[in-house]
Each structure stands twice: as C-alpha cells, then as structure tokens.
C-alpha cells in the first residue's frame, strides 16, 4: 500500500517510517511533486491536520495523512499551541522558537507542558483523525542534539532526559506523534 505523508520535514518522515509496517510504502510531498507550502490557517491543531490532508488528497488524488503538532505550556495559557512552528516568526526557526519559549518561562515556577499531535487520514472516501499527547516539563535550557523543534527543552513524564537526549527507539515509544501513529497503524490493519 502506498501512503503519502503530507510533510516536507525529513526528521518527521524518518520518525514515521521507523514506526510503519514494512508493507506500507511511505511517500513524502517531495515524492509526489508537491513543492508548495500547504496553508495551515485553522485555529486548532486538528483543523490544520485536516486542512493539509484534504489539500493533498484532493489535489493529488492520493491516499494520505497529515499531522500537526503543538506544544502547549500551562503557565503560558497553552501557548505556543497551534502557532508552535511560528512562535518566534514566520520563518519557522526552531532555535528562535526555543529562545522565545525559555525567555517567556524565565520567572515561572510551573513548567508543565504537553505536546499534542493530531493526524488526519484520508483513504478513498474515509476520513479519520487520531490524537496523541505527551505530558512533561520544559527545561531551563537546551539539552541534547537529537530530534527537532522543541525536543531539546521538553522532558517527558517518567524520564530525566529531553526528547533530544533520548534514543529515537525510546522517543518512538512514548512521543505524542508515536501515540497518534500507533492509532493510525491499528486503523490501517
């Protein structure tokens, strides 16, 4: 089975490929010739995932899924949330986003946060959405060099290392994206 993952993000693609059964051929947007930046104008994480999946399935006539992820920080009333990738500006600079987040939390005692991933799936006429959540805390500085996005500042519950310090094999068992992906994999069976 061929399935398009509506992403240009190579790191996300590697994470997801490691999770999917071998009988599913995973294609990226680049693989199907989609070079445009797909609009993400919804005010919810779920809405953005649905918007991307609908765009790709309608324009390219393929089975696909799309995800959107947000980091929700309790002391910041859920920010950066749906704007996580653009928290520090439209250029989607992960380092600038982390710097802004750490500055906003500088004098905060409550550093509870959660990653939330929504995956929208479009298979023929079926449309389904799955959600995964990873709870944890935001550190006071960056740790580790693996992963991407906010991984160097997020320690998941039950661990003492950030996502950027944990091996991919561990992250792929406990992360928000992995939890949503496992629901997708069960659905595809």
Annotation: binding site = 7-12, 68-69, 148-151, 171, 176-177
Annotation: binding site for substrate = 7-12, 69, 148-151, 171, 176-177
Catalytic one of 37, 67, 68, 145: 68
Phi first, then psi: give them for residue 81, nearest 5 degrees. Answer: 55, -130
> Are 154 and 71 contacting, i.e. CB atoms less than 8 angstroms apart?
yes
**Annotation says 68 is catalytic:** yes
Annotation: binding site for Mg(2+) = 68
> Catalytic positions, please?
68
């Amino acid at each position: 089975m061929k399935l398009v993952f509506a992403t240009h993000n190579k790191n996300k693609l590697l994470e997801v490929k490691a999770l999917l059964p071998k009988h599913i051929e995973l294609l990226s947007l680049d693989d199907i010739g989609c070079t445009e930046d797909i609009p993400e104008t919804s005010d919810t994480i779920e809405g953005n995932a649905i918007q991307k999946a609908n765009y790709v399935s309608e324009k390219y006539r393929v089975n696909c899924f799309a995800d959107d992820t947000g980091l929700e920080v309790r002391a910041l009333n859920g920010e950066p949330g749906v704007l996580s990738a653009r928290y520090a500006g439209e250029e989607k600079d992960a380092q600038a986003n982390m710097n802004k987040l750490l500055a906003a939390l500088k004098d905060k005692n409550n550093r509870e946060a959660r990653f939330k991933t929504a995956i929208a799936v479009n298979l023929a006429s079926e449309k389904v959405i799955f959600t995964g959540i990873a709870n944890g805390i935001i550190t006071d500085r960056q740790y580790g060099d693996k992963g991407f996005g906010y991984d160097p500042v997020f320690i998941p519950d039950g661990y003492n290392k950030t996502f950027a310090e944990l091996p991919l094999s561990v992250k792929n068992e406990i992360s928000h994206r992995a939890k949503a992906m496992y629901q997708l994999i069960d659905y595809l069976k």
